[in-house]
Amino acid sequence: MSEFVLLYRGNPEGMEENMAQTEQGRQRLESWRRWMDGVREKGQLKDVGLPLKRSGKVVRARNRIVDGPFAETKEIVAGFSIIEARDFEEAQAIAAGCPMLEGGGSVEIRPVLRFTS
């Protein structure tokens, strides 16, 4: 088995709708719970991860230029989880069920690189 990080990306408007104390927000939260429970029950969820705040900074280059986040950004990284899968194809199948996709968001799949000593 290999580990993969799922990076959840969405637009700022969709993220606010998901967090809203409305019926639609509650339904989206429930769909996330059902999806996560299903991944967990199959033994594929290594770490549920955490949601991320929209604020942050990026350090670039050796001269440590700090910038961001930018208001004009169309997509924000909303959070992450770590899953276990046989291969990239299975990780892709797991990500395909993610509720982030229902709201026009995306899920980036990144293999975890393990260093050996």
- Single-letter residue type at 49: G
- 51-88 residue pLDDT tens: 888 777 777 777 776 766 655 567 788 899 999 999 99
Residues 7 and 77: beta-carbon distance below 8 Å: yes
In the chain, the number of structural domains is 1
- Single-letter residue type at 103: G
Whether 12 is in a domain gets the answer: yes
pLDDT confidence tier of residue 43, bands split at 50, 70 and 90: very high
Q: What's the CA gap between 88 and 107, in Å, rounded?
A: 13
**What's the half-sphere exposure (Cβ side, CA atoms, 13 Å) at 109?**
18
Domain of residue 7, residue span: 2-111
Whether 9 is in a domain gets the answer: yes
Residue 24: CB partners within 8 Å, gap ≥ 6? 17
**Model confidence, pTM:** 0.81
List the CATH number of the domain containing 14: 3.30.70.1060
pLDDT of residue 97: 95
pLDDT of residue 57: 75
Whether 36 is in a domain gets the answer: yes
Whether 106 is in a domain gets the answer: yes
Residues 67 and 60: beta-carbon distance below 8 Å: yes
Whether 98 is in a domain gets the answer: yes
Whether 105 is in a domain gets the answer: yes
Helix, strand or coil, per DSSP, at residue 45 = strand
Residues 5 and 77: beta-carbon distance below 8 Å: no
Whether 116 is in a domain gets the answer: no
Whether 45 is in a domain gets the answer: yes
